[in-house]
A and B are shown apart, each in its own frame.
Chain A
């Protein structure tokens, strides 16, 4: 799925205080492309990812997925689009602690009101080396295992875009390496457009294309 961002801006307002997190960002990404978004803390890179995922509404500008104007969709249509086309992975894993790893992975399929096709889910679980851990609860898993569960959950609906917000922020060097390799290989195999937000230069350097965000302005390989 091709991504095109045009003059995207986001202003947070709290009473009389206004903060412009993103200013007129424009860039595009081709199908299957792998991009790292870097920048210092508070530069606006996470905000950019949230806007791309429809987790926050843009103040102005447009996001196009193929021909679909994502910013023009209503909240419920935006949610539905995300469920079907976008996978999101977070630094904090965001797994539901009361559900088993397997249930967490299959949750998006349950939301699609489909009886989960477990063959593909099992393939993912196998690929992510989680086979022994499916019946465990998140609290019983290590950080790396939880992040792999989160990745499996993001990929189980066969999304076209995978958005990752600091996916290695809570992991050690070994796990960081594993997770990034896994993300890149899986994205390549499944032809998924991968956008990873990271402040870790070593991680960013592993991506063929790097966008930098500074004070809400996107730079780097924007074209």
Chain B
């Protein structure tokens, strides 16, 4: 043991700076390994608290998993390559010593033991250093981003085992290769493959050293790739994450500023298969008054989503609607559909129909104003006939223009209650014609009736949904007053909900900004770590290649030539890393856009593009600077 202690202490004395470099290099990769796992874990936990809703959490965690988990794996993978690279560098530094030791009589086993003791001590120092630095880094990120980053023991064990395996395996392989040749063999590098000579300096340099430094180059490319990909994805993720899956996402409601709607709890006397919204909803008169006074634009008003009419249609002949209803009932897709029950018999009597000859069913119906029909479906109908309830629009998968049905529309007034509905309920019996069709593949696509007609036969019917937007500019005071009046309108019934999208929008973007800052902080710190790692990679490359730069200098190259050569090599790597990282990031973003079904071009234009451009510029200068600093430190 004494001889090993002597050799190692001597090595530390003589090569202290080199060994320290290896320790820093290893601990840097281990730091990134540990920090990214801790941060990822904490970020997930934080995300869970931020959106305290099972569905939302599930969605967001899924999306975050899709991005953060592969990125974490990439980080771990890069760290592993970095550890292998640092080990190779460390071995190469000592190869001459091993050669001499072998020449003076050290056996293969003794040489191996010396190497392993040395590498294990380096590994232990690096691990301790990296645990401290990773903990510090994550705590710092936590302080800045407001995420409570927690400490886990498992990643330390994983990092320790993985790094130890890397070091032992790499050294074993290198030693085996080393033992193949005699210790007296000349150490001159001979490329494995022949190649044609190249006659421009940069190309020649790249050809000569590209293969030799491919491990370091791969690490640099991977690191730059990760920096770019994380930035591209990171700039996309917060807005995407907050968008599309949430009911209060302002982007989903377009330019609607206020919405009132029936949330739940409508009265339904089921035996009549009528959802019965008498007396419910938003008071039409009051709402119309507010709309007029504040000059609001009605984006959508619905008055009959709970209100189903009945259809009489013949059993005879090729009746497409009937066939469709029977098919829907088989699949349990048709609600409130009933054949020849005593209650439907009673209703047919009330409506003047005859059971056995006719059949009654309710289809899914939308009540829509003529303007909305034209705006939403692009259908042109005879306005007068539509408004007076003679014409309807229907889906083309089970109706065609000219089809006629008999429709029974329940009519009630304010005195109708579930108890007296049998006596008080009346029906309007009307023959209707399909005058326009729209394309649909949905089995229960709605028949579209005139809302104006519904309101005309049911005076007491209120709005069930009202979406409004501010068409002229309102002062803050006016907005406040409008908000109060709409709130009062909603307060009359506990089933009525009111949303002020104007306020929600501000809160939404606050939330997005918070998340953006959190991600940006984390990403920024990782980018700094990665840049230091790129610098280390440049250091390894430049240090290993010092002899070549010295030779260039002997011939007549000044120090700027070396800088140009190293920079051009790193800029080449930078280009590959940036292009591949950007493409990868955009592909991931597009993938999420597609699976999320969200229009995201605005995210690309407003967030991803500028952030990527800034990041590319920063990376470019940072890498150039780190190469320059490394070159200066190496005093070539």
Residues on A lying within 8 angstroms of B by beta carbon are 55, 75-76, 79-80, 82-84, 86, 88, 90, 94-100, 102-103, 106-108, 110-111, 113, 115-116, 118, 134-135, 137-140, 153
- Nearest B residue to A94, CB-CB: B551
Please determine whether B191 and A79 come into contact, CB atoms closer than 8 angstroms.
no
A79 CB to nearest B CB, Å:
4
B555 CB-CB contact with A under 8 Å = yes
Cβ contact within 8 Å between B556 and A111: yes
CB of B201 within 8 Å of the partner chain? yes
CB-defined contacts of A95 to chain B, threshold 8 Å: 551
When distances are taken between beta carbons in the complex, the residues of chain B under 8 Å from A100 are: 195, 197
> B548–A96 contact, CB under 8 A?
yes
A106 touches B189 (CB 8 A): no
**6 pairs, CB–CB < 8 Å, chain A vs chain B:** A94-B551, A102-B197, A103-B208, A106-B197, A108-B556, A118-B199
Which of B191, B204, B209, B553 lies in contact with A110, CB distance below 8 A? Answer: B204
Q: Secondary structure of the B side of the interface?
A: loop
- Partner-contacting stretch, out of B143-151, B397-405, B557-565: B557-565
The residue on B at minimum CB distance from A107 is B555
Cβ A80 vs Cβ B191 within 8 A: no
- Of all chain B residues, the one with the shortest Cβ separation from A81 is B556
Tell me which residues across on chain B come within 8 A of A103, comparing CB atoms.
197-199, 204, 208
Residues of B within 8 A of A110 (CB): 199-201, 204
Minimum distance in angstroms from A68 CB to a CB of chain B? 15
Given known pairs A80-B556, A100-B195, A111-B557, the reply for A138 and B188 (CB within 8 Å) is: yes
Measured between C-beta atoms, what is the minimum distance from B186 to chain A in Å? 7
Contact between B557 and A96 (Cβ–Cβ < 8 Å)?
A: no
Q: Which residues of B contact A137 (CB under 8 A)?
A: 190-191
**B557 close to A97 (CB less than 8 A):** no
Shortest beta-carbon contacts, A-B, top 7: A83-B556, A139-B190, A98-B208, A110-B201, A139-B188, A79-B558, A102-B197
Q: Mark B181-194, 1 if CB is under 8 A from A, else 0.
A: 00000101111001
Task: List A contacts of B191 (CB < 8 A).
Answer: 98, 137
Q: What residues of A have a CB within 8 angstroms of the CB of B558 in the complex?
A: 75-76, 79-80
Closest residue of chain B to A106 (Cβ to Cβ) is B199
The reply to whether B554 and A88 form a contact with Cβ atoms under 8 Å apart is yes
Point out the residues of chain B lying under 8 angstroms from A55, CB to CB.
554
Chain A residues within 8 Å of B554, by CB: 55, 88, 90, 94
Quick one: given A83-B555, A111-B555, are A97 and B188 in contact (CB under 8 Å)?
yes
| Interfacial chain B residues near A115, Cβ < 8 Å | 199-200
Q: With a CB–CB cut-off of 8 A, which chain B residues contact A153?
A: 555
Interface residues of B in 528-569 (CB under 8 A from A): 548, 551-561
Q: Is B196 an interface residue (CB 8 A)?
A: yes
Instruction: Check B199–A79 contact: CB distance below 8 A.
Output: no
Which one, B189, B197, B201, B209, contacts A113 given CB within 8 A?
Answer: B201
- Whether B188 lies near A111 (C-beta < 8 A) is no
Closest partner residue, chain B, to A54 (CB atom) = B556
Within the complex, which residue of A96, A106, A139 is in contact with B551, where a contact is CB–CB below 8 Å? A96
Q: Which of A82, A97, A102, A106 is the most central at the interface, judged by chain B CB atoms within 10 Å of its CB?
A: A97
Across-interface contacts of A79 in B (CB, < 8 A): 553, 556-558
A84 to B555 CA separation, bound complex (whole angstroms)? 10
B199 touches A108 (CB 8 A): no
C-alpha gap A99/B548 in the complex (Å):
10
B212 beta carbon closer than 8 Å to chain A: yes
What is the bound-complex CA distance between A116 and B198, given in angstroms? 10
From B199, B208, B212, B551, A116 is in contact (CB under 8 Å) with B199
Least CB separation from A108: chain B residue: B555
Which residues on the B side are within 8 Å of A111 (C-beta)? 201, 552, 555-557, 561
Chain A residues within an 8 Å CB radius of B197: 100, 102-103, 106, 134-135
* Chain A residues within an 8 Å CB radius of B551: 94-96
Closest-CB distance, A164 to chain B (whole angstroms) = 13
Q: Least Cβ distance of A89 to chain B in Å?
A: 10
CA–CA, A71 to B209, complex, Å? 34
